[in-house]
Amino acid sequence: MTLSSVAQPLPLWQQLQATGVALAAVAQGVSASAALLRVPSALRSGVQSLLFASLRNWGRAHALRGILAQRKPPPEVDSLLCVALALSWLPEQAPYEPFTLVNQAVEAAKRSPKMKAQATFVNACLRRFLRERDALVAVTNKDLQASWNHPVWWIELLQHDHPNHWQQILRADLVPAPMVMRVNVRRIERSALAAQWLALGIMAHPVGPYGLMLVNPLPVDRIPGFAQGLCSVQDGGAQLAAPLLLGALPDHGKHRRILDACAAPGGKSAHLLELSDAQVVSLDIDEVRCERITGNLQRLGLSAQVVAADALKVNDWWDGQAFDAILLDAPCTASGIVRRHPDVVWLRRASDVAQLGKLQQSLLHTLWPLLKPGGVMLYCTCSVFRREGQAQVKSFLQHNTQAHGLPCVGHLLPQNSNNNGGVTDNLPSDHDGFFYALLQKPLD
Q: Give the residue extent of every domain in the chain.
A: 8-148, 180-233, 238-440
Q: Is 220 helix (H, G, I), strand (E, B) or coil?
A: helix
**In this predicted model, what pLDDT tens digit does every residue of 8-24 receive, in sequence order?**
578 999 999 999 999 99
CATH architecture of 238-440: 3-Layer(aba) Sandwich (3.40)
**What Rg value do the Cα atoms of the chain yield, rounded?**
24
Check if 408 is active-site.
no
Q: Which CATH superfamily is domain 8-148 in?
A: NusB-like (1.10.940.10)
Sign for the pseudo-dihedral over CA of 52, 54, 56, 58: negative
Euclidean distance between CA atoms 273 and 285, whole angstroms: 21
Q: Whole-model pTM? A: 0.93
pLDDT in tens, 358-391: 999 999 999 999 999 999 999 999 999 999 999 9
Phi-psi sector, 372: left (phi>0), alpha (psi -120 to 50), beta: beta
Strand segments, DSSP code E, in 230-342 are 231-233, 257-261, 279-284, 305-308, 323-329
Q: What is the pLDDT along the chain (444 residues), one digit of tens a residue?
A: 343 444 457 899 999 999 999 999 999 999 999 999 999 999 999 999 999 999 999 999 999 999 999 889 999 999 999 999 999 999 999 999 999 999 999 999 999 999 999 999 999 999 999 999 999 999 999 999 999 999 999 999 999 999 999 999 999 999 999 999 999 999 999 999 999 999 999 999 999 999 999 999 999 999 999 999 999 999 999 999 999 999 999 887 788 999 999 999 999 999 999 999 999 999 999 999 999 999 999 999 999 999 999 999 999 999 999 999 999 999 999 999 999 999 999 999 999 999 999 999 999 999 999 999 999 999 999 999 999 999 999 999 999 988 999 999 999 999 876 544 333 433 456 899 999 999 999 987
Can you give the length of the chain in residues?
444
pLDDT, position 430: 87
Angle at 393 between CA 332 and CA 316, to 5 degrees: 65
- Is 182 strand, coil or helix? strand
> Does domain 180-233 fall into CATH 1.10.3720.10?
no
Question: 125, 380, 382, 408: which is the annotated catalytic residue?
Answer: 382
What number of CA atoms fall less than 13 Å from residue 341's CA on the CB side?
22
* Pairing relationship of beta strands 305-308 and 279-284 according to DSSP bridges: parallel
